[in-house]
Amino acid sequence: MIKLEGGGVHLSYEHGSGGTSLCLTIARQILKNKKKVIWLSRYLPDGKRSSQILKGLTVEELEKISFIFIENNLEDSLKKINTLVKLMALEDLIVVDDWCQKTGRASKIDIIALENMLKIFNNTNIIVSSTSYQNVDSTSSEWESRGGKRIKEIMRTVFLYRVSEMNNQRIIKEGDELKKIRLLENGFEY
């Protein structure tokens, strides 16, 4: 689905396309492989949706995921997970779902926090997600990712789009490569 080897991945998703569901699907696979997941978010994932996607995991596997609420800003929350991250391995995963606000510009303090996170926690896989937006000043209909040029310099950006609002088909775009995936009740499949 999304390759996690080396460096961080910025998942920039069209609102309503299933960005959180995709992150949960990837987290489920990490947990099935007996690895750990730390999930930071400004909004806890929907309980019903999370249980549908994480259904079938053993108690032992579910004990390896930690959910942490981003209270003030990302920088403060990253300080809280310092001890946990030291116990993580390369195959483990940190998810920062909605690393910045869903509207407006990403704050400079959150961009700096992401930059520091990649430097400090470079011993594990990292996915950060945020909503895409369409630039009203541009003649292009292309979606843009939050965080601007700096985020594109420090992380691979992957886009998630709906094919249409009427079906469960989605497109993952990384560079010029497009992959079709489907959103099902128990997460994504490709």
Q: How far apart are CA 135 and CA 142, in angstroms?
A: 8
Domain containing 35 equals 23-104+112-157
Could you tell me if 69 and 144 lie in one domain? yes
Query: If you ran DSSP here, which 8-state letter would residue 64 be given?
Result: T
Read off the amino acid at residue 7.
G
Report the residue count for the chain: 190
CA dihedral 20→101→125→4, nearest 10 degrees, is: 60
Q: How far apart are CA 94 and CA 27, in angstroms?
A: 9
- Give the pLDDT confidence score for residue 55 in this predicted structure: 95
Q: What is the Cβ-side half-sphere exposure of residue 3, based on CA atoms within 13 angstroms?
A: 8
- Give the pLDDT confidence score for residue 86 in this predicted structure: 78
Residue 131, phi-psi category: left (phi > 0), alpha (psi -120 to 50), beta (remainder): beta
User: Smallest Cα–Cα separation from 188: which of 36, 45, 52, 44?
Assistant: 52
- Give the pLDDT confidence score for residue 179 in this predicted structure: 93
Residue 51 included in any domain: yes
Residue 15 included in any domain: no
Could you tell me if 61 and 145 lie in one domain? yes
Question: Tens place of pLDDT for every residue, the chain, 190 residues?
Answer: 788 876 799 999 998 999 999 999 999 999 999 999 999 998 888 999 999 999 999 999 999 999 988 888 888 888 878 878 778 888 999 999 998 877 778 888 889 999 988 888 888 899 999 998 865 554 555 778 888 888 888 999 999 999 877 789 999 999 899 999 999 999 999 7
Domains in the chain: how many in total? 2
Could you tell me if 43 and 76 lie in one domain? yes
- Give the pLDDT confidence score for residue 84 in this predicted structure: 80
- Give the pLDDT confidence score for residue 10 in this predicted structure: 94
Say which residues have a Cβ less than 8 Å from residue 19's Cβ, sequence separation at least 6. Answer: 11, 13, 97, 129, 131, 160
Could you tell me if 42 and 135 lie in one domain? yes
pTM of the model: 0.91
- With beta carbons less than 8 A apart as the criterion, state whether 64 and 37 touch: yes
Residue 183 included in any domain: yes
- Give the pLDDT confidence score for residue 140 in this predicted structure: 54
- With beta carbons less than 8 A apart as the criterion, state whether 95 and 44 touch: no
Instruction: Look up the CATH number of the domain holding residue 122.
Output: 3.40.50.300
- With beta carbons less than 8 A apart as the criterion, state whether 152 and 158 touch: no
Beta-bridged to residue 67, according to DSSP, are: 39
